Structure 1
Amino acid sequence: MSQRRVMRSVLDTSLLLQMLFSCFSSLYSSSCELQERFHLNGMHKTGDVILGGLFKLHFFAAEPDLSFTSEPQQPDCFGFDATGFRKAQTMAFAIDEINRNSDLLPNVTLGYSLYDNCLQLRIGFRAALSLVSGQEEQVTLEENCVGPPPVLGVVGDYTSTNTISISTVLGLYKVPLVSYFATCTCLGDRQKFPSFFRTIPNDTFQVRAMIQILKRFGWTWAGLLISNDDYGIHGARIFHSDMGPVGGGCLAYTEILPWGDDPAELRRIVDVMRKSTARVVIVFAHESHVIQLLGEVVRQNVTGLQWIASVDWTSVAVLQTPDLMPYLGGTLGIAIRRGEIPELRDFLLQIRPDLHHNTTQEKYMVNQFWENTFRCRFEPPPAGWAEAGGELCTGQEAIEDVESEFLDISDLRIDYNVYKSVYALAYALDDMLQCEPGRGPFSNNTCAHLQKLEPWQMIYYLEKVNFTTTFGHQVSFDENGDAIPVYDIMNWVWLPDGRTKVQRVGEVQRSAFKAEELTLDEDKIFWNFESKQPPRSVCSESCPPGTRMARKRGEPECCFDCVPCSEGKISNMTDSMECTSCPEDFWSSLQRDHCVPKQTEYLSYYEPLGICLTFTSLLGTFICIVVLGIFIHHHSTPIVRANNSELSFLLLVSLKLCFLCSLLFIGRPRPWTCQLRHAAFGISFVLCVSCILVKTMVVLAVFRASKPGGESSLKWFGAVQQRGTVLVLTSIQAAICTVWLVSASPMPYKNTQYYNDKIVYECVVGSTVGFAVLLGYIGLLAILSCLLAFLARNLPDSFNEAKLITFSMLIFCAVWVAFIPAYINSPGKYADAVEVFAILASSFGILVALFGPKCYIILVRPERNTKKAIMGRGKGSENPI
């Protein structure tokens, strides 16, 4: 703040404090003397009840010379505002209309005191103090400087900054202030501003209306320019709190328009606009700031922007010119709801200067009005006109035919709010005067009296005002003194012939659920772009399904990267904040936009590996059946009868079972297949190995029996003992399987650990100990058979079947020793395939090693299938096997 502004603030404060305490007299005096009079432009009309008004009748005020050694001079106003004068006259018309209405305030005449604020806080503040203190030189009161103020309510002020200061002081006196244009949300604080009301929605609703427009067209990246005052700063706070990923987007920049003419600051602001990627610019500022800004925009030739205008400059005629349409064409603005006031134009046409009877201030304003509005004088001139130095009109044009801003009532918005504000005060006063004695709302059920009305009594009735204007609009106030929220949406149209117009394209209003409802006729909107379509204004393009938004560090919230969802997660909507995990049995699609059932994996009968193993298993079973048939057909031959043909038959049956049990490992695991596969495998192989073990023991017994004194060894290896031994050894395995199945049975299991996108169906063994005991028992019998056969390998050639047993057991042991690490390291279905391969390999090894040579002799060399050939001894005897 400059030193000049500081000095002015100090001196103005001193003067205002003097005014506040000007009612000074002795304890026994009944009058107060006014210590200072302000020289204000005003209009007055007497009445039973006086209403005050504050209006912008001039644009500027001359800065007086400041000094701490003398009282500051009062400023002079210049730059007459015809529309502001029309607003003041609208209040005068409303009061005149009420006075002529026999149904509203009968027997009561309203008067007014209207002052010019020159768009300056210090002048508006002085005008407000004049309204509550009066301008009389001496005021007689009932008590020492105590009594009601001259006005019962005030309509105004124009700006939020002025209204905040004025309402703070009027609130101390409990004088109601009904504003027609102050939108700052802060004024809704009933603790700070208990006597404030307004007929215009607050800035929160205005900002949310703008955000609704941003959402409607997908504009998530916008620039914000605000004025350096309460109006702009409070508006910026609402924008920042309501915008975001949830609210609809974020702001590319927030710039504060400077006070006064600061070319350097304006150049910087426009340069930021020009370089930004945001194509949408929100200007939440007063008319004067916007005019300064657009001057620099034109100088730098910044085009291609979509402007969104706040209430304060949406309907400003000076900006709606063909020269500015290349820059401002297509602007969408928030506007006060339009209304109509019948007979207002006729009232305005009746205004005539009366230089003999008007006050000095009224003479000045009327003179300013006619000079700036019509540029001519009456013919014939009014009384006293020549003495005032007025010049006559040179033409005979009727005033009704003159095009002027003052007489244009086709688009009444702020004026309509003034009209509603006056009527709100009138209806409150009417309700107050209709109070029945003894049923009043005040202490002891008292009512207000016309002879002694207090402004604070008006506040009570204003809070309950509810009426409908002649145009059909409802007027009422909520608990914060705010009006019913509704705005018009306006569009600046650039016509083909170069002319401009501002047309209504929609509205936004509060719904029953207290949410903003935007209604737009998009077909009527003019877009100032080559495509004639809404522009695209985003910091980052939308993230498609299958990705999530990842904010860029150090940048606003709507600036983000689109990161693909990781495996197993999806996003099925645009601009998803996070990816969600798929259910357990599902996996993400390749596009990561939906979940698909996971692929299932198990050793199937329909895949090549399963088909090969199934075929090999059936082939081994078939070979076993063929060999068994051959042996049955040749059961009486020596080679079949040798070494217990019954064990051979049993061994072939067990091998067939081994081949068949491998089929239980193929196909989707079921509870019964998981339980049966290992039990069948374990019992079948124990039966097989037991037969081999007994055959080996028989070989050794026969060899010992051939030696002198060894005949007794054969009695321990008769047919019954052989069957019994096989049965006992197999029963032990059956017991192991039973205990295992009962205690911890193998069950199907959906394994998701091997692959993320697959479900591997497998059988868990249930008890690792049980499985290890089962395999260990088979291995023990196999090793024992291998050792015994190895001991019998050097027996005479007639008994060389021990060599075949040794060879078959070596194959068996080698297969199962290799099986263990391969099984442990094979995932999923390949573990089952390894186990099936081990079963088939070991089974084929035993089948080929033990029965291959015998089948060869039976089928190919039948001449060797004789007892003599098998029992043959001596030199040159041929090995039959």
Structure 2
Amino acid sequence: MDTDSGMEHITDSLCKVSAPGDINIAILGSVHFGIKNAQPWILPDLSACMMFDFITFVQTLAAIHTIETINDSGFLPGIKLGYQMCDPCSYAAKSLLCVTHMLNVNGSLPIISDFSSFNSPVKVFLGDRYTETSIPAAKLLGLYRIPQIGCSASAAALSDKFRYTSFFRVIPSNIYQTQALAKLLRHFKWNWIGMVTLDDEYGKGFYENFLPQAEEQGACLAFHEVVSHYQNVEERIKEVADRIRANSSVKAVLLILRVQQVEMLFQEMIKTNTSRIWIGSNTWSVASQIMNMKGINELGDILGISLIIGEVPGLADYLQNLTIGPGVRNDFIREYKQMRFNCSSGQQSEYVSPSACNVTDPQEANDDYLLHAVELRSAYNQRVAVYAIAHAIKELLQCNDTCCPGDTDFMPYKLLDVLREVNFTLDNHTYYFNENGDFETGYDIMMWKKNGDVRMSEVVGKFFVKNRELEIYEQNIPWANDKVPLSRCSDPCPPGMEKKMANNSCCYSCSYCSEGYYSNEMDQPNCKKCSEGYSSLPGSSECQKLDIWCLKWSSCYSIVVLVGASIGFALLLFSLILFTRHRTNPILQEFFAISCLMKLGLMVSFGSVILFLGSPNIHLCRAQQTMYGLGFTLCVSCILGKTTHIFLEAKSSNPAKQHKLKKLDKPFALVIVLTSGQVLICIFWLIFDPLNVEETPSKTHPLTVNHVCKQGSMHGFGAMHMYIALLALVCFVLAFKGRDDETEPIVFSMLIHLFSWLCFIPIFITQDEARPIVQISAIMVSNYGVIFCHFAPKWYKIFSEMADNSEVANHPEDPLGDADSGVITEAVSIDRMSQSQFSLAESESSDWDINSLSLSESHCC
């Protein structure tokens, strides 16, 4: 605001406004907001108030208008409210001076030992606009127990009734304003902000209360600047402007300043066309003089939080027809009219009326300037405060419809007690003071929208004190391109990423969500885990249903396994039928029963392969392992029994030794004992290390879970296979030592079994998802190894004999005649028998006696 001499006014007395009444109300109003020639430690005090404040002026007029309305309405029958007004000029020391001046009795303020003995000429104070001037007044008035009702001083400290006993206010504490601002920042996701505050009690208290609220809502201060209200203001404002420009990443700046400092700062910003999101406190969020600044539309978006405002009935007419009634003193009205309508000084000011030089008497002139210069609704709290006083007086004086019988010269502390309990309705709203002497009305969220070359404020939200909830009317906020501007230390993390915090809680880097986690919104602090049955790839914004992998019946591998098992079954069945029909054949006769048990074991082993297909369950898991273990153990046990028999016969050339070895040659007993050993292993395995079904993520196929059998701790599984391997190894050693036509199949079949598992075990251990395929493959190889090594050669021999017999039987010419054919057939049979015995003899060890072999050949001949 212009500070030229036309706007300066030096007070010649403290109280320039007064009107007589039965009960007097004291009004503190900083109609001037500056001090001229303030020089501490220098006497006499030559300081004077200057710079007219239209907002405070209108607010004090609203209070006076409300007092006059109450007097005219008969609200207090027979009682007239009077008032005195003093201007502290926004200066704390002058505030105390005003209070002492209005409390003085016979020119002095008495020192009292008991507040109940002091009867003040004024019964209640209507507090000043600023916290800086309200706090010292509240401390002094608390000593005398004289109530003070604030209309806009919102410092949280004033809620402390131990320090400010007699202070009330018709607004909430700043605690709630800081909560509202912090939630406003959170709502629009502005977490990197700048803050500029005054160095007075209001600014300091606001900063202290706001900081924890901002941290709770996830916002951080990029910078905090403090501006003095009294010294080097313009120079400091320029420094703050430079700091704001330098922090280009800070798009939202919170201004906890008075109207005058905000106006100066905005002028600096307009010079460099600096655009930001400006957020104001209740001190300037509805200041019309800033809304009407030249170039205000270049500054960017402006939001603020305002005390709930309303219409003061009749105030507009009152301001357009300002008059000073009889018996009333109001030098501030005179000063305003002199400034507005006097042109004799020749000053050129935006506050001088264009028709000033056509006015004969400035004190008789009026216009509607105040209606446009000030947001009239901001004066609504003065109306509420005056009515709170009037209701308390009405209750104290026990007023009825016709009179107020109580004593009007009451002690102020009595009014203090009544105010604590007052509860009244005004303009369809109910008001009362809480235990801290505050109203719990709430706040309006304002946005300054462009209106030509100026701005106009509009309510775009509410903050409710009782439930601490913020409500934003999104449809009323016209963001450019429908995109909320950002004010952040770091760019937001897109879906599929999470924040990795740096040293500052608002500064972070973005990293992709790991597998099985997702983030489906912007700027998520942590990725969320997918629910059961779902998973995701790294960096995913959503989860997908997991594909369950198992050896499905329709898969190619399963079909191959089924075909292989079926062929195996068919070969075993064919072998069983063939061997049964030729069981008297010397090739089969000795080990026919053992051979049948081997086929049974292999059939069970082939059956276990089929159980690996399809979706497994705990019963199938147990059955597939035990069937293979017992089936193949039975087969190997039969082979070992046969091998032992051959080995013992080879070692029994000595008749004495032969008798002892015969006792060990018990193939069936050996088969039962060895198979029983595997039965015990399986039982202990299933009891102490049970199998189960597990789902493990696939290492090769994303978003796939392998639904396979879990082998427990592998101890039982290992014991089962080691047992089979041990039997196979013993078979191999015994057969290798007695190499002949009968033992060669044993050697090769056991080598195939051991080699297959030796190859498959490393894959089985390292690749969980390949375990079923590996085990099936090993079982099939082992089974077919036995079939082709043990049974196929015998098929060949049987078919060869059948072919030879068929050739002899169907010979067209027999030179020996029918009588000799039987002899020839018998000779052929004897010859084949001798060949068989010769083969058996050949399998004996190298230390056999050559004579024994000659005898044997002679016998066969």
TM-score by length of 2: 0.79
Structure 1 residues 135 and 548: CA distance shift in structure 2, 3 A:
farther
Match of 1:450 in 2: 407
Alignment of 1:736-815 (within 5 A): 736=680, 739-740=683-684, 743-744=687-688, 746-750=690-694, 752=696, 758-759=705-706, 761-764=708-711, 768=715, 772=719, 774-775=720-721, 778-779=724-725, 781-793=727-739, 800-815=741-756
Deviations for 1:72-104, whole angstroms, at most 9, x for unmatched residues?
Answer: 2353334444554444444333333333333x3
- The 8 Å contact of residues 281 and 305 in structure 2, kept in 1 or not, is answered as yes
Tell me the amino acid that sits aligned with residue 574 of structure 2: V
Partner-residue secondary structure (3-state), 1:278: coil
Secondary structure at 1:631 match in 2:
helix
Counterpart among 487, 491, 496 of residue 546 in structure 1: 496
1:480 aligns with 2:436: yes
Q: Is the Cα–Cα contact under 8 Å of residues 442 and 464 in structure 2 kept in the other structure? A: yes
1:870 aligns with 2:818: no
Paired with 2:112 and 2:194, the residues of 1 have a C-alpha distance of: 56
Report if aligned partners of 1:160, 1:231 keep a CA contact under 8 Å in 2: yes
- The one-letter code sitting in structure 2 at the alignment partner of 1:236 is Y
Q: How does 1:297-696 map to 2 (within 5 A)?
A: 297-299=269-271, 301-321=272-292, 323-328=294-299, 330-336=301-307, 337-342=309-314, 345-346=317-318, 349=321, 351-352=323-324, 365=332, 367-375=334-342, 394-395=358-359, 402-406=366-370, 411-434=375-398, 450=407, 452-469=409-426, 471-496=427-452, 498=453, 500-510=454-464, 513-518=466-471, 520=473, 522-523=475-476, 525=477, 531=481, 534-553=484-503, 555=504, 557-582=505-530, 587-596=535-544, 600-602=548-550, 605-635=553-583, 637=585, 639-641=587-589, 643-696=590-643
Q: Is the CA contact 1:744–1:766 (under 8 Å) kept in the aligned structure 2?
A: no
CA contact (8 A) 1:209 1:518 kept: no
CA contact (8 A) 2:31 2:52 kept: yes
Q: Aligned equivalents of 1:317 and 1:767: distance in 2?
A: 82
Give the distance between the partners of 1:64 and 1:827, measured in 2 at CA: 87
Three-state SS of the structure 2 residue aligned to 1:126 is helix
CA contact (8 A) 1:638 1:867 kept: no
Counterpart of 1:198? Answer: 169
Supply the AA of the counterpart residue of 1:247.
Answer: Q
Name the residue aligned to 1:855.
795
Aligned to 1:386: none
The yes-or-no answer on 1:50 pairing with 2:24 is yes
SS at match of 1:313: coil
- What are the Cα deviations for residues 771-819 of structure 1, in whole angstroms up to 9, with x where unaligned? 62x556545554554454445436xxxxx43444444445455556x26
Letter of the 1:297 partner, please give it: M
| Inter-partner Cα distance in structure 2 for 1:334 and 1:875 | 114
Q: Distance in 2 between matches of 1:832 and 1:66?
A: 94
Alpha-carbon distance change, 335 to 861 in structure 1, aligned in 2, over 3 angstroms: same
Give the structure 2 partner of residue 385 of structure 1.
none
Q: In the alignment, is residue 732 of structure 1 matched against residue 676 of structure 2? A: yes
Q: How far did residue 752 of structure 1 move?
A: 4.2
Q: 1:302 to 1:673 in 2, by over 3 A?
A: same
SS at 1:200's partner residue?
Answer: coil
Residue 434 of structure 2 aligns with an amino acid whose one-letter code is: D
Once residues 855 and 813 of structure 1 are traced to their aligned partners in structure 2, the CA distance between those partners, rounded to angstroms, is: 25
Aligned to 2:825: none
Cα distance 1:130–1:701, how it changes in 2: closer, same or farther (>3 A)?
A: closer
Distance 1:242 1:408 in 2: 36
3-state SS of paired residue (1:463): helix
- Give distance in 1, aligned partners of 2:661 and 2:281: 118
Contact 1:51/1:153 (8 A) holds in 2: yes
> Please, which runs of 5 or more residues in structure 2 have no aligned partner?
1-10, 345-355, 806-827, 844-861
User: 1:613/1:342 Cα in 2 relative to 1: closer, same or farther (>3 Å)?
Assistant: same
C-alpha spacing 1:546/1:630, structure 2 compared with 1 (3 Å): same
Identity %: 25
Could you tell me which residue of structure 1 aligns to residue 348 of structure 2? Answer: none
Query: What is the CA deviation profile of residues 652-701 of structure 1, one whole-angstrom value per residue up to 9, with x for unaligned ones?
Result: 44444443344344444433334333443344334333443444455567
Q: In structure 2, what is the Cα distance between the partners aligned to 1:141 and 1:703?
A: 133
Find the counterpart in structure 1 of residue 68 from structure 2: 96
Contact 2:15 2:87 in 1 (8 A): yes
**Which piece of structure 1 moves more, 406-415 or 364-373?**
406-415
Structure 1 residues 586-612: Cα deviation after superposition (integer angstroms, max 9, x where no partner): 544454445555554555554444444
In structure 2, the residue matched to 1:114 is 85
> Which of 264, 273, 283 in structure 2 is aligned with 1:292?
264
Q: Distance in 2 between matches of 1:788 and 1:231?
A: 102
Structure 2 SS opposite 1:243: helix
Contact 2:269-2:299 at 8 Å conserved across structures: no
**Which residue of 232, 243, 250 maps to 2:203?**
232
Q: Secondary structure at the match of 1:434?
A: coil
Cα deviation, residue 626, structure 1: 2.5
CA distance in 1, matches of 2:446, 2:710: 73
* Structure-2 separation of matches of 1:663 and 1:673: 10
**What is the CA-CA distance between 1:478 and the residue it aligns to?**
1.9
Which secondary structure state, in structure 1, belongs to the residue aligned with residue 506 of structure 2? coil
- Tell me the distance in 2 between the aligned counterparts of 1:72 and 1:868: 154
Q: State whether residues 115 and 143 of structure 2, in contact with CA within 8 Å, keep that contact through their aligned partners in structure 1.
A: no
Contact 1:212 1:518 in 2 (8 A): no
Shift of the alpha carbon at 1:55? Answer: 1.5
Counterparts of 1:590 and 1:209 in 2: how far apart (Å)?
A: 38
Q: Distance in 1 between matches of 2:743 and 2:139?
A: 118
User: C-alpha deviations, 1:715-741, integer Å up to 9, x for none?
Assistant: 9699xx867446644663465357536
**Is the Cα contact below 8 Å between 1:163 and 1:182 reproduced in 2?**
yes
SS in 2 for 1:252: strand
Q: CA deviation at 1:267?
A: 2.8
How many residues align structurally?
791
Q: What are the superposed Cα offsets for residues 182-239 of structure 1, whole Å, 9 maximum, x if unpaired?
A: 1222211111111111223433333344445444544343332222212222222232
Q: Give the alignment's TM-score, normalised by structure 1.
A: 0.78
User: For the residues of structure 2 that align with 1:875 and 1:805, how far apart are their CA atoms?
Assistant: 19
Counterparts of 1:481 and 1:877, CA distance in 2: 119
Could you tell me how far 1:42 is from its partner in structure 2? 1.8
How far is 1:520 from its partner? 3.2
How has the CA–CA distance of structure 1 residues 616 and 342 changed in structure 2, closer, same or farther, with 3 Å as cutoff? Answer: same
- Which residues of structure 1 form unaligned runs of 5+? 1-36, 378-391, 437-446, 795-799
Deviation, structure 1 residue 128 = 0.8
* Structure 1 residue identity aligned to 2:523: D
CA deviation map 1:335-391 (0-9, x unaligned)? 44032232773587362598xx888xx6x65652331132279xxxxxxxxxxxxxx
Contact 2:514–2:537 (8 Å) recurs in 1: no
**Contact preservation (8 Å) 1:177, 1:195:** yes
